[in-house]
Amino acid sequence: MSSALDELSEPNMELLRRNKFCMGIKRGREHQCGSDADENAINKAVELLAEAVRRILRWRVWDSWWVEEIMDEWLEKRDRLEVQLRGKYSEEVINDLLGLVDKFVSYNERFLNYWREVGSEVRKLIDDLLSGRAEVIIWEGEKGISVHGEHVTLEVNKSTGGITVCLVLSDLGGVTIRIPGVFAMTMSKEEYEKFINGVLRALRGGLEEADGVVFKGKAAMGTTQIWQVIAWALLYPSVHVLIDAINVNESDVSITWYLKTTVEALKGKILKNVGKLSKEEVLAFMFTAVLGDGSAEIIKVIRNGHVYDEAVIKMTMSDERYKVWEPLFERLESMGFRNGKPSLSNSNVVNVRFYGSNAIGLARAMINVLPPVLRDIFDALNFEKWLNLRRIAEMELKFRKGEMQVDVTGYKFTVCARKRTVVLIHQVRDRVEAEKVINALKAKYGNEFHAYINKRGKYLAVIVPAYVVEKYDDIKEQVIEVLRRKLEKTKDEKKKRGNS
């Protein structure tokens, strides 16, 4: 075959136009050639082809160097797991975990040998495209194209996220892998039964909701991330693994690992019954959802001329999906983790963010519900979202809204320390709402309960003075606990400053 491809970096658009273009008819998962394409459709297809050819040439995808790099990454993860776990867990646990990784490594090696044989077909496919010998099938709606080879199909499509270039494999078989019971081996019988009936199910549910699909009623997922392959596998008794596509990106070349389980899919089910989840299950679900569809980062913010680190945990979803997720966010708020006002972009994408102390507290709580062995495995896998969540959880925790509050007849009053005294403050919109609060207080504690209305900026507030608080034990106990927490926090901060 000509060595011209080795020197070519930019495709000739006119040469690409010489190929046969036709409108596709969907047959099962494939597009087959139908009627001739018009000029407008051909123009769009040529643009997609040019980008695909450009990327494939840049990365010399037909060679095996990039598969070997992925193999090295697997071996590096294996080594880190052994170092991280050795001495903490029994030989049985370590050997079972390493044996699991070895099975994935073995399958990756099988793919490497396959690609050394089949990769040259990609080179021929590009050569055919540049010589006008290929048949290009344009998808319905002109959103993508397919070019079929014997073992590999080039698929290119354009969406709001940009152009996606994939090489879909037709005849690389998969392998079924049985997963060792590392959780059962590292927990007591009672701990394990509680885990599998609660937190484990929620961990699966969060991953499935974020990145999963339903295949014949069972949970399945496609991912390019090694950490996610291992994490997903550990949560199920067995997985069927298949490398079914190669992603030719602008920045790299990656493999899509497709994992199917024998467990009934949870996608779409847990969010319908958020009220039935325990607090631990809510946190476990949110944790794996953040790993899938979310982000965690520490950003720089400027306030009053000073630069501060601020923790942010974000979930991104469509406007339609947000309506389904809203009960979960409301449940998290009732647990003390308040998110900022959701923002809607022009493309109907909703961003839900937890800032500052809410993000720190949420990160700590989510990590704390994980079994220790899973935390150690994630430490060893060393992936960005986990590292960021770890860093956020270790940040200094300021008081969140609600931590300086007490509940009086269902209304939240903020404990405000003034000179030699304490008052309780509940902000209201208007005098009608203020009177409603005062009437509720008197209905419970009697007409002698004294509270007054005061103006606070643009709003009004119901104020309860200290001498009234002292008369009622249920209120006084809450106020004492809030003040105790504040004192402990102040002591800790002074100690940290003194040691720095």
Q: Does domain 405-488 have CATH number 3.40.50?
A: no
User: Would you tell me how many other CB atoms lie within 10 Å of the CB of residue 471?
Assistant: 12
C-alpha span between 332 and 438 (Å, rounded): 29
Closest to 427 (Cα-Cα) out of 474, 461, 394: 461
pLDDT-based confidence at 1, cuts 50/70/90?
very low
Closest to 185 (Cα-Cα) out of 257, 112, 99: 99
User: Would you tell me how many other CB atoms lie within 10 Å of the CB of residue 70?
Assistant: 19
Q: pLDDT tens, 155-169?
A: 999 987 899 999 999
Q: pLDDT tens, 51-71?
A: 999 999 999 999 999 999 999
The pTM of the whole model exceeds 0.85 = no
First-to-last C-alpha distance (Å) of the chain: 67
Among 28-37, 97-106, 163-172, 285-294, where is mean pLDDT lowest?
28-37
pLDDT at 217 over 60: yes
CATH code for the domain defined by 270-393: 3.10.28.10
> In one letter, which amino acid is 399?
F
pLDDT at 103 over 90: yes
Q: pLDDT tens, 411-467?
A: 889 898 877 889 999 988 889 999 999 999 999 999 999 999 988 666 789 999 999
Tokens found for residue 367: 């990590």
What's the whole-number average pLDDT of the chain? 90
pLDDT-based confidence at 400, cuts 50/70/90?
low
User: Could you state, in order of their start, the residue ranges of all structural domains in the chain?
Assistant: 1-68+111-172, 270-393, 405-488
Q: pLDDT tens, 306-334?
A: 788 899 999 999 999 999 999 999 999 99
User: Would you tell me how many other CB atoms lie within 10 Å of the CB of residue 86?
Assistant: 10
User: Would you tell me how many other CB atoms lie within 10 Å of the CB of residue 238?
Assistant: 13
Q: Where are the alpha helices (DSSP H) in 294-371?
A: 319-334, 356-368
pLDDT-based confidence at 2, cuts 50/70/90?
very low
Which residues make Cβ contacts (< 8 Å) with residue 479, sequence separation at least 6? 406, 415, 422, 424, 469
Q: Output 335 or 304, whichever has higher pLDDT.
A: 335
